[in-house]
């Protein structure tokens, strides 16, 4: 009888673990924003959850170049449609994250970095954070998804089609620079966008891949300036302004006693 209870207990644990794994499967892909070799801070968005959809906030620094590092967590090839500010990064067209769009293909367990807008088979123009008025999407007059990086991951079908697969980054050749895209002068926007930066070597080739109609996973990353993330409470942004910066070796008008840490936390919001 004791053995039966133990077997029943083990069966219950295994069944529970299986149900948990089905309800919380491992993401098909992981995405990171890389800026000058470092991973940009990302924060979970406190928004209603939807199956297969992940949402994050990320820190954008004006003028900084960035790339998107995407990892395939599966043992099969997958296709990823990537849109920045609502534009497909291969075709430049308005993206709806559909299987009919141009997409990059990742081999099983592969991690690849996408550094810019694909301007030809062998070149891309770098992503960099800028004002929305100077963004690539604004060149199309499109601000419908400004400041959002969107990735849709597709599993394959048996029938195959042609899409783009980049070579490994260690095959890159020399780079040359071109002028960044500039719009006619406009009033500066408070929101972040992605510009058409310098050109660099990035060879690609056409491969056959037939995606399923619906994506298995969607990831949305809203990148914003530091001040915006501070207002959202996602960053600890307490700093002395110039008018409140004190010399630690020169006395101020204070009471001469150590203030309560609870009072200090409240005062931080007023500086």
Locate 114 and state its tokens. 């996408």
CA 100 distance to own-chain centroid: 22
In this prediction, residue 207 carries a pLDDT of 86
Give the span between the Cα atoms of 224 and 129, in whole angstroms: 9
To which residue do tokens 């207002």 refer? 231
- pLDDT tens across the length of the chain (271 residues): 444 544 443 334 344 434 433 344 678 999 999 998 688 989 988 777 777 889 999 999 999 999 999 999 999 999 999 999 999 999 999 999 999 999 999 999 999 999 999 988 898 999 999 999 999 999 888 888 999 999 999 999 865 555 665 544 433 333 333 333 333 333 344 689 898 888 888 888 888 888 999 999 999 999 999 988 888 888 877 654 444 445 546 545 444 555 555 555 555 544 4
User: CA 226, 232, 237, 243 torsion: positive or negative?
Assistant: positive
For residue 163, list its beta bridge partners: 207
CA atoms within 13 A on the CB side of 89: 31
Beta strands, E only, 73-161? 78-84, 87-88, 104-106, 111-114, 116-120, 123-131, 148-154
Locate 33 and state its tokens. 């924003």
Give the span between the Cα atoms of 59 and 229, in whole angstroms: 7
Cβ-contact 215, 29 below 8 angstroms = no
Instruction: Quickly count: other Cβ atoms within 10 Å of residue 255's Cβ.
Output: 6
Give the span between the Cα atoms of 213 and 216, in whole angstroms: 10
Cβ-contact 166, 116 below 8 angstroms = no
**211: phi > 0 → left, psi -120 to 50 → alpha, else beta; which?**
beta
In this prediction, residue 243 carries a pLDDT of 45
Nearest to 207 by CA among 160, 142, 260: 160
Instruction: List CB contacts of 79: < 8 A, sequence separation 6 or more.
Output: 99, 103, 104, 105, 106, 153, 154, 156, 163, 209, 211
Give the span between the Cα atoms of 93 and 87, in whole angstroms: 5
Q: What's the angle, vertex CA 91, arms to CA 89 and CA 94, rounded to 5?
A: 80
- DSSP-derived 3-state class of residue 122: coil
In this prediction, residue 112 carries a pLDDT of 95
Overall pTM > 0.75: no
Give the span between the Cα atoms of 112 and 104, in whole angstroms: 10
């Amino acid at each position: 009888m004791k053995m039966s209870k133990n077997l029943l207990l083990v069966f219950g644990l295994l069944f529970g673990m299986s149900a948990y794994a089905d309800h919380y499967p491992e993401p098909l892909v992981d995405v990171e924003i890389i800026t000058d070799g470092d991973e940009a801070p990302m924060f979970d968005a406190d928004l209603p959850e939807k199956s297969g959809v992940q949402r994050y906030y990320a820190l954008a620094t004006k003028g900084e170049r960035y790339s998107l590092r995407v990892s395939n967590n599966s043992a099969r090839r997958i296709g990823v449609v990537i849109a920045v500010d609502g534009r497909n990064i291969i075709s430049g067209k308005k993206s709806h994250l559909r299987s009919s769009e141009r997409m990059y293909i990742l081999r099983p367990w592969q991690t690849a970095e996408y550094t810019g807008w694909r301007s030809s088979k062998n070149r891309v123009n770098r992503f960099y954070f800028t004002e929305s008025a100077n963004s690539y999407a604004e060149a199309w007059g499109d601000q419908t998804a400004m400041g959002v990086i969107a990735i849709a991951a597709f599993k394959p079908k048996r029938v195959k089609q042609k899409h783009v697969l980049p070579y490994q980054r260690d095959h890159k050749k020399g780079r040359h620079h071109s002028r960044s895209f500039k719009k006619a002068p406009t009033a500066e926007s408070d929101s972040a966008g992605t510009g058409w930066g310098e050109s660099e070597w990035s060879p690609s080739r056409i491969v056959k891949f037939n995606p399923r109609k619906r994506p298995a996973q969607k990831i949305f990353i809203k990148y914003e300036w530091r001040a915006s993330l501070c207002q959202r409470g996602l960053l600890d942004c307490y700093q002395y302004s110039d008018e409140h910066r004190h010399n630690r070796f020169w006395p101020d008008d204070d009471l001469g006693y150590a203030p309560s840490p609870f009072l200090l936390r409240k005062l931080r919001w007023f500086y």
